Amino acid sequence: MLSKEKVLVLKEMEKTIHAILQKIDKENEEFIRSLGLDKKQNKILLKALDNFEKQIQVLFIKQKKEYLAAVARLPEYMKKNHKKVGRTVKKAAVPEVLIDNIAEIMAGFIFANEKAYIDKLAALYVAFTNSFFGQIAEICARSVEGSRLGPEMSLTKKATDWLDQHKIKFAQEVNQTTHDAVIKSLKESLGEGKGNNPAGNKLVSDVPNHFNQSKVKEKEKKLEALTDPEKYNTVYQAVEQQQCFEFYRARRIARTETISAMNAATLEGWRQSEVIGGKEWACACDKVSREWHKNADGQQVPLEEPFIVGGEKLMHPGDSSMGASAKNVIHCRCTMKSVLKYKMRR
């Protein structure tokens, strides 16, 4: 039986958690509202964004659990592959190469299921865009003055090609970022005095003076440390604390992809209206806007030609199909304005 004081504390904690969750929910609503779209578009996009964000977070949680389970099995794996590990260590010319080589062996085991995660991310993206792309495109097509869109609408090959290509690019890049982050944590946990782990409790430090030893037996004795489960605590902690699995990364990804796909759908709608000849970059132009996006504000180009923003080509805000870098698309909140054919600047 809990005391009255403990019950009160638990109730206060519940209120605090509820307030935090409400704030998190409102953040996406405010984000969508900041785009300056109509109420119908806002409702469609908010639902798609919220759902996509949650699905990505669920995938990250599952992925993290799988990686940690693999790390827990590493000593057994290293023991079974001791000959391979031994050859790898003996070939290392300097300690830095030793760390890289051991991390590579570990990564091969931890990331054994990578293709499945790429496929899952691609499937999530397809479900995400299917939930709103066509609707947004049709709203944009029919809202244009003098639109020639017929009673029914289906996506053009340009739109479906963009979606197919971006699906693959999205899945591969998100998973590669996770992969690189975990590899970095592995190397830091193996290195002495690097990362968040205290010096002196490192796996590789248990192969001391390896490069000064001349007797094979001495080297092999030191390699026994690589199969000691207790020596993998820092590796486990490094992966467990890796920020690539955090909620805010899922939010950043979901928002970035929402802007990108929303603008691609807008472009598709204007294309099918048959009366839009151009597009104009529209930047939020607030304190967090990128300078080169502010500079692009008002830039007009023909409908099927790219904007030039920060020296890079983008068919629409958030587009990376023509090689635009992450700094030009991540967390971008820019949109576009349509330009009728007869109003295009000459």
Q: What is the DSSP string of 326-342?
A: HHHHTT---EEEEEEGG
Closest C-alpha among 333, 160, 179 to residue 259 = 333
**Distance (Å, rounded) from C-alpha 170 to C-alpha 178?**
12
Residue 307 pairs with which residues in a beta bridge? 314
Share of the chain above pLDDT 70, in %: 80
Residue 220, pLDDT above cutoff 60 = no
Q: What is the pLDDT of residue 274?
A: 95
Q: What is the pLDDT of residue 117?
A: 96
The token pair at 215 is 């007797």
> Which among 266, 336, 305 has a CA at the least distance from the CA of 314?
305
Residue with tokens 């931890």: 110
Q: What share of the chain in percent tops pLDDT 90? A: 63
Residue 16 banded pLDDT, cuts 50, 70, 90:
low
Rounded CA-CA distance 162/124 in Å is: 16
Joined tokens for residue 152: 């029914």
Residues 6+ apart with CB under 8 A from 181: 242, 243, 244
Q: Looking at the predicted structure, is the pLDDT value of residue 102 above 60?
A: yes
Instruction: Kindly indicate the confidence band of residue 188, based on its pLDDT and cuts at 50, 70 and 90.
Output: confident
- Kindly report each contact of residues 221-224 with a partner whose C-beta sits within 8 Å and lies 24 or more positions away, as own/partner: 223/82, 223/85, 223/86, 223/89
pLDDT tens track for 116-171: 999 999 999 999 999 999 999 999 999 998 999 999 999 999 999 999 999 999 99
In the chain, domain spans: 34-274, 276-346
Burial of 248 (0-12, 13-18, 19+ CB in 10 A): exposed
Question: How many other C-beta atoms can be found within 10 angstroms of the C-beta atom of residue 112?
Answer: 11
Q: Torsion-angle region of residue 146: left (phi > 0), alpha (psi -120 to 50) or beta? A: left
